[in-house]
Chains A and B, each alone.
Chain A
Amino acid sequence: MMDLLKDFKNPESMKGFAREIERLSRKYSLQANFMEVCGGHTHVIARYSLEQLLPPEIRFIHGPGCPVCILPKGRVDHAVILSERKDTIVVTVGDMIRVPGTEKSLEKARSEGRDIRTVYSPLEALEIAKSSTEKKVIYFAIGFETTTPSTALIIEKTIQSGLKNLFFYTNHVLVPPVLEAILSDSTHKIGGFIAPSHVSVITGSEVYRPLCEKHGLPVVVAGFESGDIMQAVYMLVKQLAEKRCELEVQYDRCVTENGNIKSQDLVSRYFVLEESFEWRGPGFIEKSSLRLRDEYDFLNAAVVFREYLPEIHTDDHRLCLCSEILKGKKRPADCRVFRTRCTPDNPLGACMVSGEGACAAYYKYGRTG
């Protein structure tokens, strides 16, 4: 009987892939940096020391796929401001509560008596709103394409149920535009992409075709387990050895060409492309996020509470190298504040904010960079 978790991280398979990667890279004198886009992949790479299995000429570049890390401080500040209104409950997911704003995190605001709740599933926000009708409940939504359908679903349920006290402050970002932005810097060092697992379940693999065709870079959509990532690296190296540049799917047990159409339709019913969104690290990127459609302004916390939410812009620390790390030009150990002044308890830059950021993953698993 197949075990869909354990069987894909067999140490002997991973070492077998590593041997083949080394054999091909030596035989064809290959040297390449592959960007794993997803923060979940970054975490697995650090946790299982996958880079140590690879020959030195094949390296990982840790990409921008951690939605907690890339959220600018001003957005956290908005969540804090909303929580400080006396009639509100702010609901958010996991790691978000720890992320420092300009002055404080949501965790700190909660310790000061604000009603801030973390949930495992966004659907819980509906229950909170139903049981707290005297309060305004604000769901602080973050995430890439994987998570946006769940927000769209609770928006639909809010409308259907006639709930009047649930609002949405959304920060839903998109993978392809940030990759385009990174590649627009002609000095980038990326030689191929390990594309995300679960973003691709929703979007389908075809969204990455321009990376191959326009930028001439091989792309392999990889599963979430360590063995999946090693196989994806092997597939990329094999493409380079055979002088191919193709879009391939290693994670075909879950990813199709066109993705989950029902989820895509649900998202486009409620969301539309935002003109520009500020990413912590890469900065402003055009058409790289979604916002609620105008007809749903009555649910949009950024509109309903507009008068309390000033525009806030806070730069990362001047010594922080996150934007260079996200382009693959620098590694965490190149940064003067890594491990010294910048730690998971006091992150100075985006990559240290959550366990899915490159610096935080290196810090946690003792990688020197």
Chain B
Amino acid sequence: MCLAVPFKILSIAEDGKNAVAECMGVKKEISLELMDSEVSPGDYILIHVGLAIRKINTDAAERTLKDHRQMAEIYRQMNS
């Protein structure tokens, strides 16, 4: 029920209330009316029931992935 999916913004409507965004090749019109920060095309946003609820911090995502890659390396080393 609380599922939310990351989408990339392709374009924003003139009134700023809606955007067209894409995830895994699927394009959707989404509402920006719950967003609490400015967004631009190219930004990643989290979508819940058709509404954007957060701009995704890609620097933080990259930091998390670095931890994940480190763990993958530990696993590979233990199995080599």
Contacts and interface: CB of A to CB of B under 8 A. Distances in A.
Given A2-B65, A150-B48, A250-B64, A144 B58 contact: no
B56 A4 contact: yes
Given A12-B75, A231-B68, A252-B57, A263 B4 contact: no
A17 B31 CA distance: 37
Contacts of B5: 5
B78 A66 contact: no
Contact of A201 (B4, B50, B70): B4
Given A20-B71, A123-B50, A38 B56 contact: no
A15 interface: yes
Interface in B9-57: 23-24, 31, 33-36, 44, 46, 48-51, 53-54, 56-57
Interface stretch (A128-136, A192-200, A287-295): A192-200
Contacts of A260: 34, 36, 53-54
Nearest to B31: A123
B6 A5 contact: yes
A231 B63 CA distance: 13
A122 interface: yes
Contacts, number: 148
A354 B76 CA distance: 37
Residue of A40, A153, A228, A263 contacting most chain B CB atoms (<10 Å): A263
Interface in A215-270: 223-224, 227-228, 231, 234, 250, 252-254, 260-263, 266
Contacts of B51: 121, 123, 149-150, 153
B50 A2 contact: no
Contacts of B36: 260-263
B1 A8 contact: no
A10 B71 CA distance: 10
Given A2-B65, A13-B69, A201 B54 contact: yes
A142 interface: yes
Contacts of B1: 39-40, 66-68, 93-95, 142-144, 146-147, 354, 356
A199 B1 CA distance: 11
A20 B76 CA distance: 13
18 contacts: A5-B5, A8-B65, A13-B75, A15-B75, A16-B71, A16-B74, A38-B2, A66-B1, A95-B1, A121-B31, A123-B51, A147-B49, A149-B34, A231-B68, A252-B64, A253-B61, A263-B53, A266-B34
Interface of A: 2, 4-5, 7-8, 10, 12-17, 19-20, 38-40, 65-68, 93-95, 120-123, 142-144, 146-147, 149-150, 153, 196-199, 201-202, 223-224, 227-228, 231, 234, 250, 252-254, 260-263, 266, 354, 356
Interface of B: 1-6, 23-24, 31, 33-36, 44, 46, 48-51, 53-54, 56-58, 60-65, 67-76, 78
